[in-house]
Amino acid sequence: MSVLTAALEELGDDAANTQTIFITVDPERDTPEVMKEYLSNFHPSIKGLTGAPEQIEEVKDKYRVFAARATGEAVENYNMNHSAIIYLMDENDNYVTHFSSHDSSEKIAEIVRANNN
């Protein structure tokens, strides 16, 4: 999320042409209030989405996202193992490309800017 925030900051005014959405993989813990608090640490344009577990499962399946509760974790304070992929989609929800945690904010901003023009 920090790299994504840096990419949005690098985009400057061009960030307004990009809708950035963070979707939880743990809707039982990530209530709207929790999401709002978490996302307050990042770029203000990033929107957070949560929903019913079955809705999140549908999105995970669509985007081929892995997520599972870490085994052996305390019931109230557990970790989620999950894939960390940023998808770039066009305005018709068609896949353009994706970024991993190894991609730089500069690379992300450059590709997003090129696809917004």
- State residue 69's pLDDT score: 86
Looking at the domain assignment, is residue 114 inside a domain?
no
Mean pLDDT of 82-104: 92
Looking at the domain assignment, is residue 95 inside a domain?
yes
Looking at the domain assignment, is residue 35 inside a domain?
yes
Q: Which domain range does residue 74 map to?
A: 2-106
Percent of the chain predicted with pLDDT > 90: 77
Total structural domains in the chain? 1
Looking at the domain assignment, is residue 117 inside a domain?
no
Cβ atoms of 15 and 45 closer than 8 Å: yes
Mean pLDDT of 40-48: 96
Say which CATH number the domain at 62 has: 3.40.30.10
- State residue 101's pLDDT score: 83
Distance CA 117, CA 114 (A): 6
Q: What is the pLDDT of residues 3-13, one digit of tens each?
A: 999 999 999 99
Per-position b or e across 79-107, b if 16+ CB within 10 A of its CB: eeebeeebeeeeeeeeeeeebeeebebee
Mean pLDDT of 28-56: 95
Write down the residue that tokens 């500069």 correspond to.
106
Cβ atoms of 56 and 23 closer than 8 Å: yes
Looking at the domain assignment, is residue 78 inside a domain?
yes
Looking at the domain assignment, is residue 113 inside a domain?
no
Looking at the domain assignment, is residue 22 inside a domain?
yes
Looking at the domain assignment, is residue 27 inside a domain?
yes
